[in-house]
Structure formats: C-alpha cells, structure tokens
Amino acid sequence: MKKINDLLRKLNIKPQKYQKEGKVYIVCDGEHKYVVKKNDHPIYEYLNQRNFDYYPNTVVKDGYEIASFEEEIKRPDEEKILDLVSLVSLLHAKTTYYKSVNEYDFQDIYETLLSEIADVKNYYDNLMDTIESEIFMSPSSYFLARHITQIYNAISYCEYHLKKWYEENKNNTKMRQSIIHNNLSLNHYINNKLISWNQAKFSSPVFDIYHLYKETYCDFVWEEIMKSYHNKYPLKNNELELFYILISIPNKIELNDDEYHNTIVVNRQLEYIDKTGTFIECMQKAS
C-alpha cells in the first residue's frame, strides 16, 4: 500500500478513501475516482500511436496502472454489444499488419488445437466409460449418454475442418495480425471505452471474436453481431474457418454431486453445440 500511496503522490492525487475489489483498488480523491492495479503493459502508448484512444484516461508508472474510474451509463445489453463489436472492429482495423510466417507458424496453431480437441475427446471417452459402469444411471448420466453423439459429432467436425484448414494454409507466407484485447466482455466495455487491457497482445483478430462468442452466445443473436463486425472488418475465408473451428470445440462439463447442477450443465453444453451449429450454417449460407 505504501508503494501505491507514493505513486499517487507523484501524480498529485490525494487519496481520501480506498476500496479493494479483487486485485483492483478504487481510490477516491474528493470528487474524483481512480482505478489502481498492477500493470506494466506498454499497450496504451502503442494504441495512441495508432490513433485508438477508446479507453479511460490512464497512466502506467512504476509497475502500476492508474486510470480514471468510469461510472457506467445503463443501457440495453443488445445495444451495448453491437457498439462493443463496432469498437473492436475499429481496434482491429487500426492495428492490423501482415506478419511474415512459414509452415511452422500454421503448424503450431494446428498442433495446439488438435491437442485441445484430442484432450476433449479423451475427457468424454473417460466420462462415458464411467457412466456405462453405473448400475443405475442418474438422470444427468442418462441424458448425456442419450445425446453424446452430438458432442462426438462436434469433435469430428473440428478434427476434419482443422486438418483441412491446415492443408489449405500451411504454405501461406503472410498471416494477418492485430492488437487483440483478449479479455472481451460486456463488463469490460463502459461508455464506449474498453477497460482491462492487461491481457492485450498481437494475434489473429479471430481470437477476440471467439472469446466474445463463448462469453455471450446464449444472450444474443450472433448472426447480427457477426454481420455488424464483418461489415466494418471483413474476416478472410481462412480466418472465418478458424473461427468456426474454435467455437465448435465442446467444453469439458464440470460435474459434481449435485444432480440438479449436473443436468443443467449437460443441457447447457448440448444447447451450445446445437446453437453453434445453427449459427455456422446460417453464416455459411449467407456468405
């Protein structure tokens, strides 16, 4: 705390009240509030160079980030997510460049995702072995066993299209990169500004959209969200294919001793697979 106090004094901030929320301090200085947290990420300087200033007034100094506290103006989430996606498309557009790559770059993506898919398949194989050994299946076990084909079909889709994606792209010499926020959620979008940039990095813009889809797929019509994003920052065919593969990888469901919880978790996973398959089909028909 002494280090934070010394830092605030250097910035002529006189804290009157502290409030800790997780790893973040909310500091009150009269009528002004600031967010203080550990961060030595140099991202803001780069964003300024690229004329992207949609983040709170922020200073990074001595391993800490001090930002103006934003009081959110409440509005409908359906409106908010479209504005968020519009801002993310602007971030990607302003920071895009083409990275020189070789086969090993695509091989790294391929092998990483192939390993993830294999791990998910192994998880469900073991889970089904356990379920089939039960003398009397619980409702959630029976529900999963009856619909396990949906999960295996999703895994097969990912395996097939990932191999196809790799074969089609391994000889490419360029890969599109941009700054990705890498932590997108409605909670990190306040008053047309993005907060929580500590995970930002250069990568494929696909990963921002992928993470946002996983976070919000059940709450919004994603065909409209992708249309809004794609109109401002069109994804290349190989980027779209990678996006479809990423969102199609099933989650590992977390079961416990609460049968009600288990049934909900299984149902949620099956709904995710069904909704994602329908979304991909609609997107492919529209392209």
Torsion angle in degrees (nearest 10) through CA of 191, 197, 203, 204: -20
Taking only the tens place, the pLDDT of each residue in 214-232 is 999 999 999 999 999 999 9
Taking only the tens place, the pLDDT of each residue in 243-262 is 999 999 999 999 999 999 99
Taking only the tens place, the pLDDT of each residue in 141-183 is 999 999 999 999 999 999 999 999 999 999 999 999 999 999 9
Place of tokens 């770059």: 105
Map out the domains of the chain with their CATH numbers: 2-68 (3.30.200.20), 77-286 (3.90.1200.10)
For position 1, what pLDDT does the model report? 64
Q: Which residue has the higher pLDDT, 120 or 14?
A: 120
Q: The pTM is what?
A: 0.89
Task: Point out the least confidently predicted range of 103-107, 108-112, 259-263.
Answer: 103-107
User: Which pLDDT band, with edges at 50, 70 and 90, does 2 fall under?
Assistant: low
Kindly state the average pLDDT of the residues 187-205: 92
Residue 72 pLDDT greater than 90, yes or no: no
